[in-house]
Amino acid sequence: MDIYLDFRKGGTFSCPLCGTSGCKVHDSTMKSWRHMNLFQYKAYLHARLPRVDCPSHGIHTAKVPWLGRVAALPCFLRPSPCP
């Protein structure tokens, strides 16, 4: 089972280094994580992560709000990076 997460076209994000909000998306990278099985099926999360262009710090991968929530999950619910 594959679950895809994405952001809205034209969306803006905060710089991960200084927190400046409203940074435009420069490009994006795809990341995948193994999630706990859903029923008997292997589950994978696939997300397009935005890389923002901060006027002060240049291009960096933005922090997306749900990644912090994933880290807060108990181990048995936490997706792990795909091998």
- Binding flag, residue 59, Zn ion (CB under 5 A): no
Report the C-alpha gap between 17 and 74 in whole angstroms. Answer: 27
3-state SS assignment for residue 77: helix
- Listed ranges 27-35, 54-62, 66-74, 75-83: which one lies at the site for Zn ion (CB under 5 A): 54-62
Q: Are strands 2-5 and 41-54 parallel, antiparallel or unpaired?
A: parallel
- Binding flag, residue 54, Zn ion (CB under 5 A): yes
In this structure, what DSSP letter does residue 11 have?
Answer: -
- Give the nearer residue to Zn ion in terms of CB position, either 3 or 17: 17
- Give the nearer residue to Zn ion in terms of CB position, either 55 or 68: 55
